[in-house]
Amino acid sequence: MLSELSDNCYFVGLGDYSTLSKELQQINEDLAGNPDRNVIIDFSRVNMLTSSDISNLMILHDMLQKKGYRLILCNVSFQIKCEFTVCGLRGLFEFAGDKFEAMESLAKVG
């Protein structure tokens, strides 16, 4: 699930809608309140989110933020960004165009 992208970052390529909820839940379980690096999640195959998916993303965001790490969502479609906006959560999450842009963002901040 979590693959090491660098010494300070995990990368997750999410599957389609049929596996999304389980994948997000597994990420939270794998980190289990003790994350040790930033997380970039690739949404290129995601075309819809449920409230459970959004809840899992919020849990992950909070878990990472408490330890001083960042969650960056990349390759997020316009439709998914609209879902975040409608839920009032667009400002909570950090977005990048792709994995490389996300990595550059992490490198700039340190």
- What is the mean predicted confidence (pLDDT) over 29-36? 86
Q: How confident is the model at residue 109 (pLDDT cuts 50, 70, 90)?
A: low
Q: How far apart are CA 67 and CA 84, in angstroms?
A: 24
Q: How far apart are CA 32 and CA 88, in angstroms?
A: 26
Burial class (CB in 10 A: 0-12, 13-18, 19+), 32: exposed
Domains of the chain, each with CATH number or no CATH: 3-109 (3.30.750.24)
Q: How confident is the model at residue 69 (pLDDT cuts 50, 70, 90)?
A: very high
Per-residue pLDDT tens for 84-104? 999 899 899 999 999 999 999
Identify the pLDDT of residue 18. Answer: 82
C-alpha distances out from residue 53 to 7, 8, 18, 21, Å = 27, 25, 12, 6
Tell me the pTM.
0.92
